[in-house]
Structure 1
Amino acid sequence: MEVFAVDGLPEVRPGEDLAALIEANVDLQDGDVLCVASTIVSKAEDRGADLATFEPGEQARVIAERIGEIADESKDPRFAQAVIEESQEILLAAPFILAVTRFGHITVNAGIDRSNVPDSDLLLLPENPTESARRLHDALGVPVVVTDTSGRPFRQGQRGVALGWSGLPACRDWRGEHDRDGRELTATVEAVADELAATANLVTGEGSSGRPVAVVRDFDFGEHDGHDALFRDPESDLVRQALADYEYSND
C-alpha cells in the first residue's frame, strides 16, 4: 500500500465541480481510495458563513460568557450561536463547546473552521458528508472518504478522522474470527475509515500546505465482515452519558 497527496488543486470556490478538479490532477486506478478534506467539500458546497448572520440567543450568550470567564478573555456569542445551529446536541459547554453534529460526529465547536477561509468568517462542515462522498464516488468510480482533523481524548495532538464515506465499509469487523491461538475474537472492530483518514493526513499536512486530497493506493479491505456503524449510539456510549451527567451537575 502507498499513499500520496494530489498536487495542483486550485483554491476551491462555491459551486465548483470538485470531482472534475480532482480528476484533472490525478489518474485514479482500481484499488485506490480517495481521501478528501472536508474543507474543500464545504467550499464547493458553499458552506461559508459570516458571524454577522448569527443572532445569539440566551444559550449562546451564557456559553460565551462562561468560556470567557474561564479563558479570561472575551468570547463572541455569535460564534457560540453558529455552533448551536450546526449541532443536534451540546455535550459540553465549558471550558470548550463539545457538540454532536447533525450527522452524528462529535467534535469541538461542531467542526466549524476559522482558518484557510478566504471569503468568509467561518467554514461549516458539509451538511451530509456521506452524501458528499457518495457523489464523488459515483463521479470518480473509487471509494471516497471525506476527512477532517480532530483532537483525541486522553492524548495530545490531532489526527485525521472520517466524517463520511462511500464505496467501502467504515469498519472492518473481526468478531467471530480467531487469533493465532484459536481464541474467538468477540469485541474487535477496526475503524478502517478513520485509519485511512489518518494515513491521508500524514501526507496532506496542516496549515498552509494546500494539499487537501490524498490517494491511498492498493488498500485491501480483506475477507472480513464490514459495517458502517462508526458513530456510537448514545445508548451504548458511556463517555457521552458521563459528559451529560457532568453538565447536569454543573448547571
Structure 2
Amino acid sequence: MCVKLIGIKNIPMIGQGDDVGTIIIEAAKSEGLEIMDHDVFVVAETVVSKAEGNLIKLDSIEVSEQALEISEKTSKDPRIVQTIIDESVEIIKVGPNFIISETKHGFVCANAGIDESNVETGFLKPIPHDSDESASIIRTTIESATGKNVAVILSDTQGRPFREGAVGVALGVSGIDPVWNRQGETDLFERELETTTIAVADELASAASIVMGQAAEGLPVIIVRGVEYAEKLRSTTSNIKPILRPKKFDVFR
C-alpha cells in the first residue's frame, strides 16, 4: 500500500463567511490537482472556526473570581482562563502552566482547545461549535462539485498523557467512521483479535500533521490518498463520538 500526503497550496487567509469547501476545490484546480474517489481531506480546525466567525475578542471577556484564582496558579492571562472555563463542562487538573478540562464537545484536552496561533492579535479561537457538522458541509460541497466520494476530518494539535510532544488528532469527521473495530479478525498466527479497535481518524489526522505543520507552513488542508480502508469505512452518518472514551471508563478521573 502506498499512501500519499498532499498539501493543497494557494489556500488564502480565511475570513468569516468564507465557504471552505469551495475554497478547497478552487485551490486544488489552480494546482491541476484532481480530486479522486476516497481521498481523505484533513482540514485544520482553525480555518473552520475563522470561517464560522468563531473567534472571541480578548477585550470583551469579563473575568470571574475562579478565573483569577486559576490564573495565579498557571500564570495564564485571566481572560484566557475565563474562556477555558466558559468552553468547558469540567476543569479536571490545573498545573503550573496548563489547564486540563473536558470541553462542551466531550474532548479532554489542554486549555479546552483554546488557541491564539494563526489568528489575529487580540482574539482567541475556540474549537468549532459542531466539528462533525462542519466536516459534513465541506464534504458535501466537494462531493457535489466533483462527483467523487470523499471523507473530511477536522484536525487539531494536542498533547498526550505520559508522552512529550503534540500530534494531530481528529475533532470531527464526515464520510468515514472514526474507529475501525477489528475484533474477530486473525493475526499472523491465526489468533483471533479480541479487543483491537483502531482510531483511524486520529491516525489520519496525525499523518496529515507531518505536512500541515504547526507554524507558518500555510498548508491547512491535506489530502491523504491511497488509504485502502477508506472505502471499507465509508459512512455518511459518521461522527466523532465513537472515538471519545466515556467518563465511566476513564480510570484517570
- With normalisation by structure 1, the TM-score equals 0.88
Task: Give 1:76 shift.
Answer: 2.0
Task: Write out per-residue CA displacement over residues 23-61 of structure 1, whole angstroms, 9 at most, x where no aligned residue.
Answer: 101132112000000010111011111122221112111
**Deviation (angstroms), 1:203:** 0.8
Tell me the CA shift for residue 62 of structure 1.
1.2
RMSD, aligned CA: 1.8
Within 1, Cα distance between the matches of 2:202 and 2:18? Answer: 27
Counterpart in 1 of 2:251? Answer: 238
Aligned equivalents of 1:118, 1:110: Cα separation in 2 = 19
Q: Please state if 1:207 is matched with 2:208.
A: no
The number of equivalent residue pairs is 234
Corresponding residue of 1:248: none
Partner of 2:202: 194
Q: Is 1:88 aligned with 2:89? A: yes
Say which is worse superposed, 50-59 or 40-49, in terms of deviation.
50-59
1:48–1:120 CA contact under 8 A, matched in 2: no
- Which residues in structure 2 correspond to 1:69-80 (within 5 Å)? 75-80=76-81
Instruction: Assess if the C-alpha contact under 8 Å between 2:179 and 2:243 holds in 1.
Output: yes
Question: Which residue among 219, 224, 239 is the counterpart of 2:227?
Answer: 219
2:32 is equivalent to residue 25 of structure 1:
no
Match of 2:140, as an amino acid? Answer: D
SS at match of 2:194: coil
Question: Contact 1:87–1:110 at 8 Å: present in 2 too?
Answer: yes
State how 1:48-127 maps to structure 2 within 5 Å.
Answer: 48-68=55-75, 75-95=76-96, 96-118=98-120, 120-127=122-129
Kindly provide the amino acid, as one letter, of the partner of residue 13 in structure 1: G
Q: CA deviation at 1:128?
A: 1.0
| Structure 1: 5+ residue stretches without partners | 69-74, 242-251
Q: Percent identity?
A: 39
Q: 1:225 to 1:30 in 2, by over 3 A?
A: closer
Judged with a 3 Å threshold, the aligned counterparts in structure 2 of structure 1 residues 157 and 7 are, in CA distance, closer, same or farther, namely: same
* Aligned twin of 1:145: 153
* Segments ≥4 residues shifted beyond 6 Å: 224-227
Question: What is residue 31 of structure 2 aligned with on the other side?
Answer: none
TM-score w.r.t. the length of structure 2 is 0.88
Give the unaligned 5+ runs of structure 2: 29-33, 144-149
How far apart are 1:214 and its partner, in Å?
0.2
1:127-174 per-residue CA deviation (whole Å, 9 max, x = no partner) reads: 111111111111112110000111122122111000000100000111
